[in-house]
Amino acid sequence: MSKDGKSNLSDMLWSPEKRVVVGMLVWLLLLALGSAFVNTPFQAQSAAGANAGFANVMYLHGLLIGMVGFVSLIAMDVFDAARQHRTLWSLVLWGTIFAALLSGIGGIFDRAITDTFPLWIQIISFFLLDLILVALSLALFFRAADTRRVWTWTAAIAAISALLAAIMGHIAGWMLEFGDWPKGIIGGYATLAGMQWQVWMSNLIASHSHEMVVAIIALVVATTCAAFGVDRAGSRLMKFGLWMAAVGTVAMSIIYVVGGFSLAQPPILFSSGPGGINGLAGDDLVTGIFVMGGGLLALIGLGAEALPDAVHRWGAALISAILFVTVVVFGYYIEFHENVFGSGAVNAPGAAADSVFTWFHQDFAFFLLPAILTVLLALKWLAVDEALRRSATWTLIAGAVVSFVGGLLYIFVNQTSHGVSFIITTIGFAVIVVGALLAIWSVTGRGQPQPARTARLQHSH
């Protein structure tokens, strides 16, 4: 963004860049609506202990890649990298357009590993994601060196972590498609590391999936703080939370890279129960407490600042709190009670609840909530009409709260298909869709041309 606090994307009412952002919002909303038909607790994971199938995973990859590109576009603007590094900005812009289209279209038709054409369409989008993350990492690193702001360093570290996760995903995808070939490389390294290539692939997939989502959450939180931040870099709580997230992201990256390329895995802490079945995975402690916990503290500190747009700032903190409770609090509780929930064991007393939690924390917490935070950022910088922006913000927040309540009931009270938990959760998702439509309408510049950033404190990055 410019030094007067104005978004470069909104310099013109209907700039080409703004058209891209609006198109991305529409495209991602359509993919999100489509995901309701491929990955719900009544389909892919309705049976206790079931796992999401290949088709569902690839469809969600199409959605996630588009979201990462969208976050990257907003981050390039917020950190003023779009103006300072035009070549890198162009790479992010065009990479996002083609990656989102290819990954989404490929994900719709990529139903099995034998579907060669849609699979390779998505593979191309994966390499475009690399291009986006390389350009974003360089731009944010340059901006961090120039500005020395805590939020810029946190965002740069998060972008690099996401790039590492993408690389591990590429290697795992190669083995998934071609197996132990070429043997001199794949099998040779696996043997050198003391494992079979199938084990190496499994470790890479686990590290890739765990690191990518958490890194993007850290990026979204840092960008949100930067969007409101002032020259004095915000409150002490905000800075402390951001440094926690930065340190946690570095530690997380080391844990997952080591775990992806070796047999070394995070230890189980505080083990108890029969055979030590209960306990907290070491990586979950780092990602939950430091990255997501630090992000929550940062956004609470942001909300407490004497800045405009209190609804947006506290709304972002509330979304982050829901994310923290869903993933960390609920997740830790289940890990400490695996003898009840079963960790995929279909005969466990709480196996059905565990299955619903797997769906809810993956799709709702790791996909939908970061997407809502990103849409709030888009509203912050691109909305023209203040009333529309506030309406969209309140609607998105209300939808997230209702969905969270429904999920809470779903996991711990009643897992009956199409019961009261399902009704509440569905109502919450429907409200989020309405909020997304209001956000799109607001960002297009419709309504009264009233600035959405009144009473802004001047700042620079």
Q: What is the total count of domains within the chain?
A: 1
Q: Quick one: three-class SS letters along the chain?
A: CCCCCCCHHHCCCCCHHHHHHHHHHHHHHHHHHHHCCCCCCCCCCCCCCCCCCHHHHHHHHHHHHHHHHHHHHHHHHHCCHHHHCHHHHHHHHHHHHHHHHHHHHHHHHCCCCCCHHHHHHHHHHHHHHHHHHHHHHHHHHHHHHHHCCHHHHHHHHHHHHHHHHHHHHHHHHHHHHHCCCCCCCHHHHHHHCCCCHHHHHHHHHHHHHHHHHHHHHHHHHHHHHHHHCCCCCCCHHHHHHHHHHHHHHHHHHHHHHHHHHCCCCCCEEEEECHHHCEEEEHHHHHHHHHHHHHHHHHHHHHHCCCCCCHHHHHHHHHHHHHHHHHHHHHHHHHHCCHHHHCCCCCCCCCHHHHHHHHHHHHHHHHHHHHHHHHHHHHHHHHCCCHHHHHHHHHHHHHHHHHHHHHHHHHHHCCCCCCCHHHHHHHHHHHHHHHHHHHHHHHHCCCCCCCCCCCCCCCCCC
Is a pLDDT exceeding 90 seen at residue 40?
no
**Residue range 303-319: average pLDDT?**
89
CA-closest candidate to residue 173, choices 120, 101, 252: 120
Instruction: Give 29's pLDDT tier (boundaries 50, 70, 90).
Output: very high
pLDDT the model gives residue 445? 65
**Residue range 94-118: average pLDDT?**
92
With b meaning 16 or more CB within 10 Å and e meaning fewer, what string describes 43-73?
Answer: bbbeebbbebbebbbbbbbbbbbbbbbbbbb
pLDDT the model gives residue 388? 87
**Rg (alpha carbons) of the chain, rounded to whole number:** 21
pLDDT the model gives residue 416? 79
Q: What are the C-alpha distances in Å from 58 to residues 42, 180, 306?
A: 19, 22, 43
On whether residue 354 sits in a domain, the answer given is: no
pLDDT the model gives residue 15? 62
| Contacts for 150 with CB less than 8 Å, ≥ 6 apart | 233, 239, 242, 243, 246
> Comparing 460 with 277, which gets the higher pLDDT?
277
Instruction: Give 52's pLDDT tier (boundaries 50, 70, 90).
Output: low
Lowest mean pLDDT across 38-47, 161-170, 241-250: 38-47
Lowest mean pLDDT across 10-14, 17-21, 246-250, 304-308: 10-14
On whether residue 11 sits in a domain, the answer given is: yes
On whether residue 6 sits in a domain, the answer given is: yes
213-244 pLDDT, tens digit per residue, is 999 999 999 999 998 876 555 688 999 999 99
> Comparing 65 with 20, which gets the higher pLDDT?
65
Instruction: Give 385's pLDDT tier (boundaries 50, 70, 90).
Output: confident
On whether residue 252 sits in a domain, the answer given is: no
On whether residue 302 sits in a domain, the answer given is: no
Using the structure block, give the residue that is written with the tokens 């950190």: 79
Using the structure block, give the residue that is written with the tokens 């995975």: 281
**CA–CA separation, 118 and 102 (whole Å):** 9
On whether residue 237 sits in a domain, the answer given is: no
Instruction: Give 332's pLDDT tier (boundaries 50, 70, 90).
Output: very high
**Residue range 158-170: average pLDDT?**
97
Q: What is the mean pLDDT of the chain?
A: 86
**What domain range is 64 assigned to?**
1-148
On whether residue 117 sits in a domain, the answer given is: yes
**Residue range 56-79: average pLDDT?**
92
On whether residue 133 sits in a domain, the answer given is: yes
Percent of the chain with pLDDT over 90: 60
pLDDT the model gives residue 96? 95
Instruction: Give 46's pLDDT tier (boundaries 50, 70, 90).
Output: very low
Instruction: Compute φ and ψ for 413, nearest 5 degrees.
Output: -120, -60
